[in-house]
Amino acid sequence: EADIYQTPRYLVIGTGKKITLECSQTMGHDKMYWYQQDPGMELHLIHYSYGVNSTEKGDLSSESTVSRIRTEHFPLTLESARPSHTSQYLCASSLPGGSYEQYFGPGTRLTVT
């Protein structure tokens, strides 16, 4: 059973505010991911990390940034939120080595007004 947590679950915030979406996993997984998903659309990879101090941008360009200072923690930050950032943000992790399966958190539904 995967244990991956995201907070907050829902966030409504005004334009220009700085926000941090939290993601933590207790499984010791090396690989962690952030996806963005709009209703009825595919999940798009925006950031990933293969370990501490390793972060890469994904296929979808994003104005967000990430950090990986501890194995279990992979926060995503938006310095200045805009209405175009309104979306669902999903965090995932996977086992080290050759594993394909990713385990997802419950997501954060972000609305920027």
Partner 1 sequence: DQQVKQNSPSLSVQEGRISILNCDYTNSMFDYFLWYKKYPAEGPTFLISISSIKDKNEDGRFTVFLNKSAKHLSLHIVPSQPGDSAVYFCAVSGSARQLTFGSGTQLTVLP
- Residues forming the site for partner 1 (CB under 8 A): 4, 6, 9, 31, 40-43, 45, 48, 58-59, 90-92, 94, 98-107, 109
Q: Which is nearer to partner 1, 10 or 79 (CB)?
A: 10
Which lies closer to partner 1 via its Cβ, residue 87 or residue 102? 102
What's the closest the beta carbon of residue 19 comes to partner 1, in angstroms? 19
Least Å from the CB of residue 65 to partner 1: 19
Closest CA to 112 of 34, 16, 20: 16
Alpha carbons 6 and 30: distance in angstroms, whole number: 17
Residue pointed to by tokens 């679950």 = 9
Closer residue to partner 1 in complex, CB, 28/96: 96
- Backbone CA torsion sign across 51, 64, 9, 85: negative
Tell how far CA 54 is from the center of its chain. Answer: 15
